[in-house]
Amino acid sequence: MQRLPLSYIRPGMKTYEEVIDANGRTLCGKGIELTEELIKRFYELGVNFVTVEGHPVKLPWEKTLEEELEELENRFKGVSDPDLLKIKEILVEFLNEKYSKG
């Protein structure tokens, strides 16, 4: 599942959960294939996010584990302080655990 800003929603995606407006009204059920008409209606009703099945979009702020580890490695390049290296080790463990939970 992936919670996406409405601007990332495309026809053919399926809802993972009900789409509810700010007043608590259900606009669309779970498992519904989204159409251009539904998406347009969501805009009209002020919906900001929709949770869809799968992970159809790589958002600009999302990174893979490999990208995260590479960035961490670059940040600690040249560091020899044992306390800072321990922090790096803890961060690597955290990232591995975070990504293993999916």
Q: pLDDT value at position 34?
A: 97
More confident residue, 101 or 37: 37
Q: At what angle do helices 82-100 and 65-75 cross, to 10 degrees?
A: 170
Tokens of 45: 């009703």
Q: What's the pLDDT at 102?
A: 60
Beta-ladder partners of 28: 19
Section 59-82 average pLDDT: 93
Q: Which tens digits make up the pLDDT trace of 31-44?
A: 999 999 999 999 99
With beta carbons less than 8 A apart as the criterion, state whether 27 and 42 touch. yes
User: CB-hemisphere CA count at 13 Å for 4?
Assistant: 22
Q: What percentage of the chain has pLDDT greater than the value 70?
A: 99
Distances (CA, A) of 75 to 40, 51, 55, 84, 96: 43, 34, 29, 11, 17
pLDDT at 59 over 90: no
Q: Is the pLDDT of residue 58 over 90?
A: no
What the block records as the tokens of 48 is 């900001």
Evaluate whether 72 touches 92 at the Cβ level (below 8 Å).
yes
